[in-house]
Structure 1
């Protein structure tokens, strides 16, 4: 006798579809604002925002990749684009030459200052406007719980590199 395939309940299915729709619609609105005001991709904005929040304005590339859940090679390309615009610098870590440190520049901070007001307005308008304060608290709790569950397994970028067998 075979086991029936796993299924989602109607409520789980509705929650999943609502989540993916909200995520897509919100990301589209946020990305448009970031492109229009700062000529930034969503990942570039995340990279600059994380660097802007770092105490010394810098982080290891691997930590950035894990934080934004992006591949190391993809993030290297995004960091290179930002470096060409003068928004970040990249260099070897003083503690470990194999690690690359990315640091935000004054120009990068200026771009963040330019995009943040519109970014915050887009998030408030598109995500929080239709919710009560209690709804926002519940959303934060639920999404924090899901994020913690998903982060229990390290992101792919955090795993060790596999060597090809000959």
Structure 2
């Protein structure tokens, strides 16, 4: 509020500020637990897990651009992470036979096994920390709200993820069969 008791256009209302802080703290707590689980059980960063999980979910090779959809990470950083996964034998990369500008990424058997090893713990952490305190209606409401927020953020001119598709496929809690 300004000295004359009119709302300051640049300020957040107390309920907005409280919601912002609760969201940021919840995201930080969940992210820390997920990253710890992935590191402990699979020697993976969260971004590396995202790449492997997207490949496992697709069940086919993907281009680097397809992998980047839904991942908020710089292109050079994503290329670096893919290089680390390739060096570890979890993926392979090669030029596309249809488009020489595209790089095809394939999940190796070892990569699929790594996803299979970390996914149960990842699901457990997510279920325990995020979903245990929510009803089915809460999950539906939160999903709708966060989808709108994400889509709004991706439409902003300064978004690092603008122009990418808005919704990656959800993991269904299982690794695709070989």
Which category of TM-score, normalised to the shorter sequence, fits these structures? 0.7 to 0.9
Residue 42 of structure 1 is matched in structure 2 by 46
Give the match's secondary structure for 2:92: strand
More helix by share: 1
Residue 129 of structure 1 is matched in structure 2 by 132
Per-residue deviation, residues 17-65 of structure 1 (Å, max 9, x unmatched): 1111111100000000000001000000000011111141x21112322
Give the Cα separation in 1 of the matches to 2:147 and 2:83.
31
Deviation for aligned residue 1:6: 1.4
Residue 14 of structure 1 is matched in structure 2 by 18
1:75 aligns with 2:72: no
Residue 164 of structure 1 is matched in structure 2 by none
Give the Cα separation in 2 of the matches to 1:28 and 1:131.
20
What are structure 1's unaligned runs of at least 5 residues? 160-166
Shift of the 148–157 alpha-carbon distance from structure 1 to 2, 3 Å rule, reads closer
Give the Cα separation in 1 of the matches to 2:160 and 2:74.
8
Give the Cα separation in 1 of the matches to 2:131 and 2:152.
24
Name the TM-score, length of structure 1 as normaliser: 0.86
RMSD: 1.9
What count of residue pairs does the alignment treat as equivalent?
Answer: 156
What are structure 2's unaligned runs of at least 5 residues? 1-7, 164-178
Give the match's secondary structure for 2:93: strand
Name the TM-score, length of structure 2 as normaliser: 0.81
Residue 92 of structure 1 is matched in structure 2 by 95
